[in-house]
Structure 1
């Protein structure tokens, strides 16, 4: 899909435009709470992950483990989720955007959202491709660490559980976008050269 074709008003309609971090913050808080299959899966993951962590602690007698192991493991996972996994997460997004045809990509830290912001200039991404990209990064940095945690112990167990949970929180923006796109059967995301993100839907 080329940007020129997407801007053809006879086939596609601009349904939402987001320009700055304050608009993104409102968008995230609105659509991460919208009830649909995406948000139900997301909140269920966080809740079940929390219950699973409690089960692991109780079933393995981890409550009696030296508290220093707890502190090092949980803090280590938090630091990885703040300093390392966000960089790799956004790098995977950037590589995916380039793979799908983006010519130029800007990466910068957004203090208001406390996350990196990826902006591909004059680039169109379909709903299906966006779901695929977000699903892959969520699998790599949240689901996979949770599964691996079952086969570890000590500091690694706490670190992986911590990484799984905190990365899921970091991915909230991705899931909010997926939640918004869920209501449109056929839609696209356009990143303009003015750092504006525009959502289009296909007209019937």
Structure 2
């Protein structure tokens, strides 16, 4: 990592933050508290998700497709089922890293925090790349679930709604880190991971530069 850091400094970049993988809740929380477009979109998605559950629950009950208890339990069953999507979620992150040219993609979990991750060792990504890599699992999995929702019966619809909403909540880290990055987008920020040491670095140009988000 020393050679990469030296190369970035030679290009005018400076380190503005670093976090161990255990500490990544700090920047994602800062991002979600920032109130910028990524934080706002995330909270709107969550509100719409719960609103959707309420609307479909009312529809199922009024049309006698499901009872209130059935809606509750089928939807709740989507919560543990979401854990089965974790490997796919992280693989999509990994595929996105590889799409941009990363060769050394690694996967891991911090069990104390039940945090799963995919990182590209020593591979810097800019703001534009980062947001696609971070949000690709949310977009792809949500679209797949929405497509399946259209073709299944009422019990499965309730089940899928539960997965959709809980998976969206689990994407808080992805939206939060995008929001964190967004705050310094005009400084041409870069981020890279040292998977051996378990540290994520954030670099940026010291002078403000115009960049359309």
Query: Is the TM-score greater than 0.5?
Result: yes
After TM superposition, the score normalised by the length of structure 2 is 0.82
1:8 corresponds in structure 2 to 9
Task: Name the CA distance, whole Å, in 1 between partners of 2:190 and 2:100.
Answer: 13
Query: What are the within-5 Å matches in structure 2 for residues 129-140 of structure 1?
Result: 129-140=129-140
2:45 corresponds in structure 1 to 45
1:16 partner SS:
strand
Task: Name the CA distance, whole Å, in 1 between partners of 2:178 and 2:67.
Answer: 41
- The offset of 1:32, in angstroms, is 1.8
Superposition CA RMSD, Å: 2.5
1:188 corresponds in structure 2 to 190
Which 5+ residue runs of structure 1 have no aligned equivalent? Answer: none
- The offset of 1:116, in angstroms, is 1.0
2:24 partner SS:
helix
- The offset of 1:201, in angstroms, is 1.3
Deviates more, 1:178-187 or 1:137-146: 137-146
Which 5+ residue runs of structure 2 have no aligned equivalent? Answer: 208-213
After TM superposition, the score normalised by the length of structure 1 is 0.85
- The offset of 1:29, in angstroms, is 2.8
Query: What are the within-5 Å matches in structure 2 for residues 1-204 of structure 1?
Result: 3=4, 7-9=8-10, 11-21=12-22, 23-61=23-61, 64=64, 65-66=66-67, 69-70=70-71, 73-82=74-83, 84-142=84-142, 144-146=144-146, 148-149=148-149, 152-185=152-185, 186-192=188-194, 193-204=196-207
- The offset of 1:56, in angstroms, is 1.7
Task: Report Cα offsets for 1:33-86 as digits up to 9, x if no partner.
Answer: 22111101110111122112211222343685246643553244222211x211
Number of matched pairs? 201
